[in-house]
Each structure stands twice: as structure tokens, then as C-alpha cells.
Structure 1
Amino acid sequence: MSLRDAEPGDISYLRQLYASSRASELALMSWPDAAKQAFCDSQFDLQHRHYVAHFATADFLVVLHAGVPAGRLYVHEADNELCIVDILLDEAMRGQGHGSALLRRLQQEVRDKALSALRLQVLITNQAARRLYEQLGFVLEGDEGAMHLAMRWRP
């Protein structure tokens, strides 16, 4: 796996990746496919604008597997910490250790730069991701509103 800066030409892939992350949720809805797609497009656009506005100096990275886009990783360094703004892998890449490898890579970056912590937020409902983070030494630090939990790893 490797990483590269996201480029304008990646927006279509990133939009599709986002939509795939919402597929199981939207499968429960009786909406027509076109409405589901419009909803995902709208949500992606809102999220993307939010990330760019609030994390202007972040690294917006595309995860590559064998040279092919396989996910996204957005990280932002501030206040002597590295923050994972967003991490999302293609469904086919999950459960194979790729996410763990990316997280260990970021933990090493924190060590190399002598930063104080690596932090992230996880959806309260994403128990699989929370278990992974805990296995890698992240500690729950509280909730971030009704939807997210704050977690932090310290070297």
C-alpha cells in the first residue's frame, strides 16, 4: 500500500467511495436508486467542503493498493498532535490488515516527529473500528456529541 496526494481527478472515486460507505444504511430505505445517489452526492459535497474549510492545511491522501485507489486518508497536524480527520477503505480492502498497517504507519510518524498524540473520532455505532483502535492502543477520551467518540493514542 502507498499514499499520494488527492488530486481533482480523484473526486469521482472519492464520491463513489463515500457512497459505498453508506450503502448498507441506505439499503434499508425505500428510496429509488436515483434518490439514494443524490443523497450520497449531497452528503459527500457537504463533508468535502467541511473538511477543506476546517482542515485547510491537512494532507488529503488517496490510499493505493498495487497502484489502484483503495481508500482515503485525511490527516491534520496541529497542537503537537496528528489528527486522523477521516480514514475510509474500499469494502474489499477491509478486514485484511490494511487499516491496521495505515494506523501503525501514522503511529510511527507521531514517534518520528516527537508529537504528543494521534487522535481521531469514531462513530458510536462503528464497533469494529473502535475495537481495532483499542487493539492498537487508542484510549477513549469522551464523546464528541451524539454521534462520535474521541480516542487518542500516545507514544
Structure 2
Amino acid sequence: MKWGCMIVQTRDVVSTDEAFLFELYVATRKHEFSILALDEQQLHALLHMQYEAQKRSYQQHFPQAKHEMIYHGELPIGRVMTEIKSGNIHLIDISLLPDFRGKGYGTKVLKQLQRNAAKQKLSVTLHVVQGNPAQKLYERCGFYITGEQAPYITMKFEPFK
């Protein structure tokens, strides 16, 4: 994917991406554990355990998922996971390194996902934790709330509406 002067590309995840994916997980989740009185080694061990649990959960619940790295030029900046199921492209996860949030990269990836959905005559669905700032991004990109099951909000984008 290339847009204007901001080059954003994706490619399938390969085994050599594992270290970056863990680094990304830590960068996006470390703050959640800041209230715990853990030293760096304990925190790293806890985050690694949580990362492995998330991986297993995604593999179990989304066995056909497409897992891609997001790049800015040659630099890995995030990941996106989707799965086509029941007439929808389900956005399982989109994560960006903190330095690349709020700068249009997530929007670029979402817009490409929406264009792909439109070509296939599919809608895009997702779940977001209530209060997550990403909800505003999704709304700006045309997603609307279809339901709530605490702590999640279900959202949908329909390109053919």
C-alpha cells in the first residue's frame, strides 16, 4: 500500500518477525501493568506470558486469520490481523508502535481494508474495548456501533450501504 508521501505497506508475518511482535505488544500493553509493583524482570516475564496467551487465543478463535506486518518504508511499525468469515472481514487486531499513532498510519491501513472489503462486497467488523481512543478513529473511518458486551463495543463498516 502506498499513499502520497506517506508510504505504508503490509506483508505477511513470518517467523523472524516474532521479536518485533513481542516488542510491539510490550509497547502497547506495558502501561496496563504500571500499577503493579514489579521489577523490570518480573514485568518482562508477565508481559511475555500475556503475549503468548494472546497468540494462543487468536490462533484458537481465528484459525484462518491473515496476520500482516505494517511498514513505513523499510521500518516495521505495527501489525494487522483480519479474518474473512460470514460475509465480513473481521478486524481482529491493529497495533502501531506509540511513535506512529495519531499520524495517519492507522487510517491508511483501515482505508485499504475498507477498499478491499468493497471490492469483495463484504462488510468490516471489529470489537474495541470501551474507552479505547481507537474507537474515535474507527468512527472517523465510517464504522458505527452495532452492539455492546462489556467491556467491548462491536462496530461495523458497510461499504455497499
For Structure 1 versus Structure 2, the TM-score category normalised by the shorter chain is over 0.9
- Aligned partner of 1:84: which letter? L
Q: What is the CA-CA distance between 1:137 and the residue it aligns to?
A: 1.2
Runs of 5+ consecutive residues of structure 1 not aligned to the other structure: none
Aligned to 1:107: 114
Segments of 4+ moved more than 4 angstroms: none
The count of residues paired between Structure 1 and Structure 2 equals: 152
Give the alignment of 1:86-101 within 5 angstroms: 86-101=93-108
- Aligned partner of 1:28: which letter? I
Q: Is the 8 A contact 2:82 2:90 kept in 1?
A: yes
Distance in 2 between residues matched to 1:147 and 1:18, nearest whole Å: 20
Aligned to 2:3: none
Aligned to 1:153: 157
Does structure 1 residue 122 correspond to structure 2 residue 128?
yes
Q: What is the CA-CA distance between 1:24 and the residue it aligns to?
A: 2.0
Runs of 5+ consecutive residues of structure 2 not aligned to the other structure: 1-7
Distance in 2 between residues matched to 1:49 and 1:66, nearest whole Å: 30
Does structure 1 residue 79 correspond to structure 2 residue 86?
yes
Does structure 1 residue 133 correspond to structure 2 residue 138?
yes
Aligned to 1:59: 66
Distance in 2 between residues matched to 1:125 and 1:20, nearest whole Å: 19
Q: Is the 8 A contact 2:30 2:47 kept in 1?
A: no
Q: Percent identity?
A: 29
CA RMSD of aligned residues (A): 1.1
Alignment counterpart, residue 11 of structure 2, candidates 4, 13, 27: 4
- Deviation string 1:34-87 (CA, Å, 9 cap, x unpaired) is 111111100110110111122111111011111221101000001111000100
Q: What secondary structure, in the 3-state scheme, does the structure 2 residue paired with 1:22 have?
A: helix
Aligned to 1:38: 45
Q: What is the CA-CA distance between 1:142 and the residue it aligns to?
A: 1.4
Tell me the TM-score normalized by structure 1.
0.94
